[in-house]
């Protein structure tokens, strides 16, 4: 039985149990490709960064049910900002970096996002999609100041397993991409399966195991 209500809730429980253990490890070759620092980020450090981002998104007026396009490739920031958005009940729409302008326009129109977060190299493409889709959503990079989308709602979000957590799009090779909405429960069940798969994938509480 899955006890947690959201992806962020499960992460917080892990961070409380193993604050000093590594959550992410960026290898030197990966760091070179993305132009970021290599090395480990502990659960405690990751939680602090996710909380900081959560506060900024909340101050910008993001609310549960909002959809945000995220084009950050496979950078560590993707996971940290997903946690931050999940903490608010915001649905992320991961964007494949290989998508072209027409595909970005379609997803921008279909997903009806309020915000897009991208790498600096793709910000202009996302802004074009915002215009062409008619949605006019704001586009920022991680270095930009977040726009105020609406007055911040002080009411705290109460997570539920059936709340949507992500909206994934198919490749669209046989037609327009299809949006698949995945709830917190989907990711929690997937994590539970991997944690209990055994064999080569065996996970233990023992840091030396």
Q: Domain segments of the chain: what residues?
A: 7-145+162-201
Q: Name the residue with tokens 């900081």.
A: 52
- pTM for this entry: 0.92
In this predicted structure, what is the pLDDT of residue 172? 64
Q: How confident is the model at residue 205 (pLDDT cuts 50, 70, 90)?
A: confident
Question: 156 or 114: whose pLDDT is higher?
Answer: 114
Mean pLDDT, the chain, integer? 92
Question: In the predicted model, what is the mean pLDDT of residues 141-169?
Answer: 90
Nearest-angstrom CA–CA distance, 48 and 39: 17
In this predicted structure, what is the pLDDT of residue 173? 67
Q: Which helix (H) or strand (E) holds 168?
A: strand 164-169
By residue count, the chain amounts to: 209
Q: Which helix (H) or strand (E) holds 184?
A: helix 184-195
Looking at domain 7-145+162-201, does it have CATH number 3.90.1150.10?
no
Q: Is the pLDDT of residue 29 over 70?
A: yes
Nearest-angstrom CA–CA distance, 62 and 83: 14
Q: What is the pLDDT of residues 30-72, one digit of tens each?
A: 999 999 999 999 999 999 999 999 999 999 999 999 999 999 9
Question: In the predicted model, what is the mean pLDDT of residues 114-142?
Answer: 96
Nearest-angstrom CA–CA distance, 1 and 88: 24
Q: Name the residue with tokens 């109460």.
A: 158
């Amino acid at each position: 039985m899955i006890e947690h209500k959201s992806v962020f809730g499960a992460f917080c429980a892990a961070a409380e149990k193993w604050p000093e253990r590594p959550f992410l490890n960026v290898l030197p070759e990966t760091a070179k490709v993305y132009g970021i620092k290599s090395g480990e980020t502990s659960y405690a450090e990751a939680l602090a960064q996710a909380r900081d981002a959560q506060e900024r998104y909340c101050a910008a007026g993001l609310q549960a049910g909002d959809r945000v396009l995220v084009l950050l490739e496979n950078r560590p920031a993707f996971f940290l900002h997903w946690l931050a958005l999940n903490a608010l009940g915001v649905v992320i729409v991961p964007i494949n970096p290989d998508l072209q302008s027409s595909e970005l326009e379609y997803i921008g129109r279909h997903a009806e996002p309020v915000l897009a977060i991208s790498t600096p190299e793709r910000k202009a493409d996302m802004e074009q999609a915002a215009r062409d889709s008619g949605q006019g959503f704001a586009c920022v990079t991680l270095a930009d100041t977040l726009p105020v989308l609406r007055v911040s709602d002080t009411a705290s979000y109460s997570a539920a397993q059936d709340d949507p957590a992500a909206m994934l799009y198919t490749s669209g090779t046989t037609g327009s991409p299809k949006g698949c909405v995945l709830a917190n429960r989907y990711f929690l069940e997937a994590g539970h399966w991997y944690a209990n798969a055994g064999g080569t994938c065996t996970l233990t509480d023992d840091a030396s195991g």
